[in-house]
Structure 1
Amino acid sequence: MFLTWAVVFLQHSAMAESSAAAVAAAGTAAPTVLDELLEITAQSLVRTEVAEHYEVIRELGRGKYGHVMLVTHRQRGTPMALKLLPKASTKLHTFLYEYCVALSLATHPAIIGMFGIAIESSQYYGFLYEPALHKDLISIIKPRDGIPEPAAKQCAKQLVSALEFIHSRGLVYRDVKPENVLLFDPECRRIKLTDFGLTRPKGTKLKLVAGVIPYTAPELSNTADAQGVPIDTSLDAWAFGVLLFCLLTGYFPWEQSLPEDPFFEDFMLWQETGLDEDLPRHWKRLTAEAALMLRSLLALDPAERGPVGGALRYVDRPWRLEDGAGEGAAAKP
Structure 2
Amino acid sequence: MDPNNGTMAENLLEDMMEITGQNLNTIEVDKHYKFIKQLGKGKYGQVTLVIHRQKGTPMALKLLPKTLTKRQNFLYEYCVALSLSSHPNIIGMFGIAFESPDHYGFLYEVALHQDLISIIKPTEGVPEPVAKVCTHQLVSALEFIHSRGLVYRDVKPENVLLFGPDCQRIKLTDFGLTRPRGTLLKLVSGVIPYTAPELSNTQNGEAVPIDFTLDAWAFGVLLFSLLTGYFPWEKTLSSDPFFDDFIVWQETGRDDQLAWHWKKLTLEAMDMLKQLMALNPCKRSPVNKALWYLQYPWRVDNWK
| CA distance 1:158–1:53, shift in 2 (3 Å) | same
Give the aligned partner of residue 47 of structure 1: 26
1:305 matched to 2:284? yes
**What does 1:275-314 correspond to in 2, within 5 Å?**
275-314=254-293
Higher deviation after alignment, 210-219 or 278-287: 278-287
Give the aligned partner of residue 249 of structure 1: 228
SS of 1:70 mapped into structure 2: strand
1:165 matched to 2:139? no
The CA deviation at 1:48 is 0.5
Q: Separation in 1 of the partners of 2:169 and 2:154?
A: 19
**What does 1:13-92 correspond to in 2, within 5 Å?**
28=5, 29-92=8-71
SS of 1:84 mapped into structure 2: strand
TM-score calculated relative to the size of structure 1 = 0.88
The CA deviation at 1:123 is 1.3
Identity of aligned residues (%): 68
1:111 matched to 2:77? no
Unaligned runs of 5+ in 2: none
Contact 1:171-1:200 at 8 Å conserved across structures: yes
Query: Could you tell me which amino acid in structure 2 is paired with residue 251 of structure 1?
Result: Y
The counterpart of 1:207, out of the listed 159, 164, 186, is: 186
The CA deviation at 1:225 is 6.3
The counterpart of 2:165, out of the listed 178, 186, 193, is: 186
Query: Could you tell me which amino acid in structure 2 is paired with residue 173 of structure 1?
Result: Y
Give the aligned partner of residue 11 of structure 1: none
Deviations 1:105-148 (A, max 9, x none): 00000000000000101111110000000110011110000111
SS of 2:292 mapped into structure 1: helix
The CA deviation at 1:186 is 2.2
Deviations 1:154-192 (A, max 9, x none): 111101000000001000000000000000112101000
CA RMSD of aligned residues (A): 1.3
Contact 1:254-1:263 at 8 Å conserved across structures: yes
The counterpart of 2:128, out of the listed 149, 165, 171, is: 149
The CA deviation at 1:49 is 1.3
Question: How many residues are treated as equivalent by the alignment?
Answer: 301
Contact 2:248-2:254 at 8 Å conserved across structures: no
The CA deviation at 1:223 is 2.5
SS of 1:81 mapped into structure 2: strand
SS of 1:315 mapped into structure 2: helix
Q: Separation in 1 of the partners of 2:259 and 2:37?
A: 43
Q: Separation in 2 of the partners of 1:63 and 1:140?
A: 20
Contact 1:26-1:33 at 8 Å conserved across structures: no
The counterpart of 2:301, out of the listed 322, 327, 330, is: 322
Q: Separation in 1 of the partners of 2:46 and 2:295?
A: 38
Give the aligned partner of residue 176 of structure 1: 155
Query: Could you tell me which amino acid in structure 2 is paired with residue 257 of structure 1?
Result: T
Deviations 1:43-98 (A, max 9, x none): 10121011111111111111111111111111110111000111111110110000
Q: Separation in 1 of the partners of 2:39 and 2:249?
A: 41
The CA deviation at 1:224 is 5.8
